[in-house]
């Protein structure tokens, strides 16, 4: 590619519905048009921990992310290079990490909690999207995910929410909301609302961005 890809940053706190938004957004493109780099794959390995250690360990800090590796892979994709990255499995001893192959594409999506806080990464973005959700709704979503899907105890989920999740959100993400070009409010459980929004944004990209970059 001879033309710099269009870089989109998608940020949102825990329970904001960012994963569903991303899933819907990516469905509007084929694999040759868009590629995704997730902050979650750049956690610095914390090693094996007991349940109590896991409860106390704060994953919601920028220092838990290998941001230099994250930045380097983003820069490589912008330069048209393919990136290989081992999947992060959140210290799950039963999970076998996959080797991720991320190929460059005309649209590059960067997603994660701290992507706007990491200034060198944020400076590469052409479009910043903030997924905004009321705290009470976000907590309900987090509880549903962690209690049902991950088998955590409610006490542990609440401890992390009060001591880790919300302080990090307020310090490392919320201050950057005013600088985002698009703020998506996601307080409902109506899938069609998000699908409609992602379709609108993807149509904008197809009209104004992709024609300039496909075929470079």
Domain count of the chain? 1
Inside any domain, residue 59: yes
Triad 205, 211, 214: Cα angle to 5°:
105
- Residue 2 above 70 pLDDT? no
Helix (H, G, I), strand (E, B) or coil at 80: coil
Q: Which domain holds residue 20?
A: 6-213
* CATH number reported for the structural domain that contains residue 61 in this entry: 3.40.50.300
What pLDDT digit, counting tens, does each position of 59-77 carry?
899 999 999 999 999 999 9
What pLDDT digit, counting tens, does each position of 204-213 carry?
999 988 887 8
Confidence label for 16 from pLDDT (cuts 50, 70 and 90): very high
Q: Quote the CA–CA distance of 205 and 6 in Å, as a whole number.
A: 9
Inside any domain, residue 60: yes
Inside any domain, residue 44: yes
Inside any domain, residue 50: yes
Closest CA to 113 of 154, 142, 149: 142
Query: What pLDDT is recorded for position 93?
Result: 66
Inside any domain, residue 1: no
Confidence label for 78 from pLDDT (cuts 50, 70 and 90): very high
């Amino acid at each position: 590619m001879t033309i710099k890809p269009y870089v989109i940053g998608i940020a949102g706190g825990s329970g904001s519905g960012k994963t569903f938004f991303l899933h819907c957004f990516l469905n509007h493109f084929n694999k040759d048009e868009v590629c995704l780099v997730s902050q979650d794959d750049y956690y610095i390995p914390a090693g094996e921990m007991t349940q109590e250690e896991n409860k106390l360990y704060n994953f919601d800090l920028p220092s838990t992310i290998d941001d230099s590796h994250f930045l380097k892979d983003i820069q490589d994709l912008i330069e048209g290079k393919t990136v290989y990255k081992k999947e992060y499995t959140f210290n799950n001893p039963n999970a076998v990490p996959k080797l991720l192959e991320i190929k460059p594409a005309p649209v590059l999506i960067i997603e994660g909690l701290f992507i706007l806080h990491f200034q060198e990464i944020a400076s590469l973005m052409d479009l910043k999207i903030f997924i905004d959700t009321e705290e009470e709704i976000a907590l309900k979503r987090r509880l549903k995910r962690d209690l049902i899907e991950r088998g955590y105890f409610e006490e542990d989920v609440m401890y992390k929410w009060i001591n880790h999740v919300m302080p990090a959100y307020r310090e490392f993400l919320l201050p950057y909301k005013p600088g985002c070009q698009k703020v998506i409010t996601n307080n409902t459980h109506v899938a069609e609302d998000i699908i409609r929004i992602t379709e609108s944004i993807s149509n904008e990209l197809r009209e104004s961005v992709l024609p300039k970059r496909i075929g470079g």
